[in-house]
Amino acid sequence: MSGIIKQLDKDTINKIAAGEIIISPINCIKELIENSIDAGATKIDLFIQNNGFKMIKIQDNGTGIEKSNFALLCKRFCTSKINTYDDLKSIATFGFRGEALSSICTISNLKMITKYKDDVIAYEVEYSSNGDVVNKKPLAANQGTTFVINDLFYNVPSRLKSLSYTKQELKKIVDCISKYAINNQGISFSLKRLEDNKMLYSCKENSTLDDRIRLLINSSISKFLINLEDVHDEDLGLIKCEGIITNLSYCNESTQFKKTSISTNKMMVFFINNRLIDCEVLRKHIIQTYNAFLPKTASSPFVYLSLFINPENVDVNVHPTKKEVYFINDEEICEIICGNIKSILQSQDVSRTFQDNTKLTQPFQPQSNLITDSFKYRSKTEEFVPDQGKLPTEYRNESKLVRVDASQSNLSFKPLRYTTLNTSSTGSILSEDSVQSDSSNECQNLESVKNLKLEIDNLAYPELIKFFSNCKYVGIIDAEKRICAMQCDLGLYMLDYASICSVMFYQLALRNIGAFGLYKISCSEAVTVKKLLSKINITEHADVHGIISTLEDMKDMFNDYFGIEFESTGDDLIVRTLPMIIQEYTPSKEKLPLLIYRLAKRVNYDDEQICLQEILRQIALWYKIRFQI
């Protein structure tokens, strides 16, 4: 084979493209069913021969196709659904790319019979492999459109060899038409096999949703069905979600009576904006929700969901066969839906019946010692009032669990240590013992300090305290976003360590106010307020003078309560000491200018309690950890 690049001929291009769109007979049938629904049909009849490989005939009573559209009907990228790419943002119909009929023509012999609603006669039109009209004649027919596909893949023998002629293709066709029947009440569907003139599927126009589900699964499922209604969240773009789910007893009974032969593809039926799709993220969330209630031997539940999402949030043009779509906020939407499913299952999870090999029934009591692996802050005044004296059963969400290496029996944590401030021999770090006790006693006895401590005690959350007492440090996940991993029991959690450290340093500073250890800055390196402010571009005389004046007025309080010593020198101040909140960790020297600026500008000195609280918060912000990896 030569290495020269050359353009493929048109016939080869069309066959390659058709092989991506039409993979098997089911793709032809799906595309044509969607076209019939778009045309407003209330009756769709499907006929197949040799599982669709020899012939596929689909007939509807929709609006039909106008005569002026015959020439472009089977041409690539010809469509009436969109005009520009931006129209995909609000697409509300099925076929929109103009590829389905063109691909079908390329790999089969296509014939169409159609009568438009305003015409008095119908037309029969035959197409060539490149989508050109080769024969057209008038005839008598009812309103609607009939497509006849003969000899599918006759010119692509390699595709024929890779496909099966057996029951597998037939099952896919029955599943497809059954699922569209479930989501399209008011439309009758039928499927007939021509070899033996056998009706494989029949659903009348007035059939109920339960009837249509029974046709897909089995007749015994009806007594286990539960409606799912009124699920929405406009902020996430979820306009509405409705559907049917099975209760917990169905999963057990279907196992005991060996009905697990039902294809797993049948058990999860998802439509997004009336489009049949495979949504793996939603399927996993639902399975995990049911697994919290069921034993491992239980079979899969049946779930039918029809989601209506803001079209601007849905990307329908991500898969050649359009069986997948992407939508914004998929995880959040799945959690909302599964939260509603969980509430329904919890409300009925009082007792369940399991059939053993001796055909005896025994009540199953759900475990009550399972707890959720998530926690959140709440005030001490919030209380849970149990319903009728019984606490609800909490189930562990398996999707929130992350397993770690089983060989690691104990995870150890050694904190990083920095010495960014100058602590040379000319300036030493003093211990907490060197602080005078008189100042400490005075601070601790202040009413404002007692109130701040009481506020922390009142907001304490016992479960959160227990979590931090038992958790193990794992490692840094994202240094930019300041997220680390912590393990507690079986849970692996992502935490914002900067926010946690800020709260921790605030509480440590409050507990030790007036009794801080000190960082003594070297005498050889005079750290003045003006020099620090120049590093953050505060050079205006009025601003600098105002900051120095404020700190000058409060320097005695800073020294006595917080261990921050300012030494006056002309029209400037020299920083001599800084507070030590925790040993073996030194805050960043680069953040010191911001601390000095905020102490002057971000603190309200008119109210004692607010003043002390804000100064402590500024010191905690200065100490906030920034890991460097």
Which pLDDT score, from 0 to 100, does residue 502 have? 85
Q: Which domains does the chain have, with CATH numbers?
A: 10-209 (3.30.565.10), 217-364 (3.30.230.10), 429-623 (no CATH)
- What residues form DSSP beta bridges with 475? 485
Whole-Å CA distances, 192 to 46, 50, 179, 480: 6, 11, 17, 61
Which pLDDT score, from 0 to 100, does residue 201 have? 92
- CB-based contact 601:593 (threshold 8 Å): no
Average pLDDT across each block of 10 residues of the chain; the chain has 629 residues. List them in order: 56 53 82 88 93 91 87 72 52 56 85 89 88 88 91 77 69 90 92 91 91 87 87 88 88 51 72 86 89 78 90 68 72 90 81 48 39 34 39 53 45 35 36 45 81 86 84 86 86 86 87 82 76 84 86 87 87 87 78 88 88 89 62
Which pLDDT score, from 0 to 100, does residue 422 have? 40
Which pLDDT score, from 0 to 100, does residue 385 have? 38
Q: What is the pTM of this model?
A: 0.53
3-class secondary structure, 430: strand
> What is the DSSP secondary-structure string of 339-380?
HHHHHHHHHHTT-EEEE-TT--EEEEPPPS----S------T
Which pLDDT score, from 0 to 100, does residue 202 have? 92
Task: Find tokens 């009440």 and name the residue.
Answer: 185
- Within 400-446, where are the H helices? 437-444
Which pLDDT score, from 0 to 100, does residue 221 have? 87
Which pLDDT score, from 0 to 100, does residue 412 have? 37
Which pLDDT score, from 0 to 100, does residue 620 have? 87
CA distance 627 to 629: 6
Which pLDDT score, from 0 to 100, does residue 57 have? 94
